Amino acid sequence: MKLALVGDIGGTNARFALWRDEQLQAVQVLATADFPGPEQAIAAYLHAQGLPLGAVDAVCLACAGPVSGDLFRFTNNHWRIERAAFCAALQIEHLLMINDFSAMALGMTRLRDGERLQVCPGEAQAGRPALVIGAGTGLGVGTLLGLEDGRWLVLPGEGGHVDLPVGSPREAELWQVLHQQLGHVRAEDVLSGNGLLALYRAICTLDGQPQVHSTPAAISAAGLAGEPLAGQVLEQFSRWLGRVAGNNVLTLGARGGVYIAGGVVPRFAERFLASGFAKSFSDKGCMSHYLDGIPVWLVTAEYPGLTGAGVALQQAYGAD
């Protein structure tokens, strides 16, 4: 192939890079609101790199939502992709579209030293699936499988929409408040950026405290600064993430390890590492021993979704 381009497209920003020698090069972040569609954004990116249309032979785009067929409409911005028109506009031969969390999961296969922090010690078992779970705009959950030929397979799912588990009397009380406010309570309703705010409001309601903060960023900052109530939010968030991750390990037999990805947890990484995550992760009654020795890592890599798109492109077309 002449040259490959990868993209990770969210609601606000689109990240693009060249994929060359199995590495990202020339990463650039563009605002989706500045362009009528992905063709124009990619054309602008190529122009900034001094590359003409036709210089890129293959493109892989990680897109939020289920990907199938030749037409994709983004759920969180105004962009759409029609395969034939896209390829013609950019003069490319190959277009691969994959789910954004599938790209995130594939990105775990190329983590470098210093791009993950150990949360729970252990050793990943060869040949067993790994769990990738990430709190961001929503809660993504995927299963990563290594194949015998050295390739990787991602089994995407909707694990963020499972029922929020309850593991203590305090959590039962919080669940009741959340149920009154939300109706059906999903894991994603708490374990996401907006979920951090929902949890804060539930704790304030339960404890009769005034609601001072109005954004997830403010809650995180206050918790890190030592505010007790905000600190409770970060702690309970961590514990609930542990319960959900542990449930998924039991369901999947994910003794290949657990990767905690997404943009939320790294914002309070030090607090998270000292939290009750590990205890809640392994708190499974008679099956608690099953979680012993399963390694858990917090991913701090800057562009794992872009890297995963490169891995997907390489596996599909041999792009290097």
Q: State the Cα angle at 73 between 71 and 77, rounded to 5°.
A: 155
Question: Are the beta carbons of 248 and 159 closer than 8 angstroms?
Answer: yes
Terminal-to-terminal C-alpha distance of the chain: 8
Is 10 annotated as a binding-site member? yes
Q: Which residues pair with 5 in a beta bridge?
A: 18, 59
Q: Is 8 annotated as contributing to ligand binding?
A: yes
240 and 171 Cβ atoms separated by less than 8 Å: yes
Q: Which of 300, 320, 296 is nearest to 113 (CA)?
A: 300
Residue 320 marked in a binding site? no
DSSP assignment of 31-70 equals EGGGSSSHHHHHHHHHHHTT--TTS--EEEEEESS---SS
CB 152 within 8 A of CB 132: no
Taking the C-alpha atoms of 233, 219, 197 and 202 in order, what is their torsion angle to the nearest 10 degrees? 40
Known binder of ligand: residue 7?
Answer: yes
Residues near 303 by beta carbon (within 8 Å), at least 6 away in sequence: 8, 15, 17, 24, 27, 107
Instruction: Give the dihedral sign, CA 91/306/144/73.
Output: negative
Question: Does 219 carry a binding-site annotation?
Answer: no
Tell me the residue type at 19.
W
CA neighbours closer than 13 Å in the CB half-sphere of residue 30: 23
Annotated ligand binding at 9? The verdict is yes
Contact in structure between 97 and 74 (CB atoms under 8 Å): no
Q: Residues at the annotated binding site for ATP?
A: 7-12
Sequence ranges of the binding site: 7-12
